[in-house]
Amino acid sequence: MFTGLIESLGQVDRATSRVGAVRLAIRTGFSPRSIAIGESIAIDGVCLTVARRTKRGFEADVVAETLLRTTLGSLGAGDRVHVERSLVLGERLGGHLVLGHVDAVARVLALRRRGGDVRLTIGLPAELRGLIAFKGSVALAGVSLTVAAVGPRSFEVALIPETIARTHLGTLARGDRVNVEVDLLARYLDALTRERRAPRGRGAARTRSR
């Protein structure tokens, strides 16, 4: 479990292909001594398990399913990534509850700057329509953000100066891909109401009428 508040802007030291997986070596901004083997660390919003400590960070394996459903498969040496260690119970929850389970990969449609007002527009994947709410929470590349606007095919977030300084979201350009995780509450509400929304057959209708 994470909060969406980025702890470190890290860097990929290397990405080594293996059979059905990729091992990422990540350089972090905090001491590798504080990292435990087996702990969960989110990289660009994807929950990974530490396999090995290094002098500058850690290594983690990214399996085929994760490569298919996230942006991690496109990472290479020198790429910057968001790093967040898991939430410690008893600490302040400054963002929102983030699982590190990516719901979809979306495309950046625009990054507009008007003085201090910076707006990021993201294409809304069909499978996420109805799960992104105005003034609700969303995680983009692991960053907890508030939805500023929602349209039929896109949504918008505002980037404050602190977010631009501590993340790489301010460097995104049209066409870039980004990991999206919807709010946990929206995900479960959708699951609970899906059966009620589903069309029922004649047999079900006759059963209800008795």
* pLDDT tens digits along 69-96: 999 999 999 999 999 999 988 887 888 9
Token pair of 171 as six digits: 């460097």
Q: Which residue is it, tokens 């090995």?
A: 52
* pLDDT tens digits along 36-52: 999 999 999 999 999 99
For residue 116, what pLDDT is reported? Answer: 85
3-state secondary structure of 60: strand
How far apart are alpha carbons 197 and 142 in whole angstroms?
30
Q: pTM of the prediction? A: 0.89
For residue 208, what pLDDT is reported? Answer: 38
Domains of the chain as residue ranges with CATH: 8-85 (2.40.30.20), 104-189 (2.40.30.20)
Q: Are 82 and 167 in contact (CB under 8 A)?
A: yes
With a cut of 50, which residues of the chain have pLDDT below it? 203-210
How far apart are alpha carbons 112 and 154 in whole angstroms?
15
Q: Are 111 and 172 in contact (CB under 8 A)?
A: yes
Token pair of 124 as six digits: 């809304």
The residue type of 173 is: A
Pick from 106, 71, 80: nearest CA to 27: 80
∠ at Cα 21 (15, 22), nearest 5°?
5
For residue 188, what pLDDT is reported? Answer: 86
Q: How far is CA 48 from the centre of its chain?
A: 12
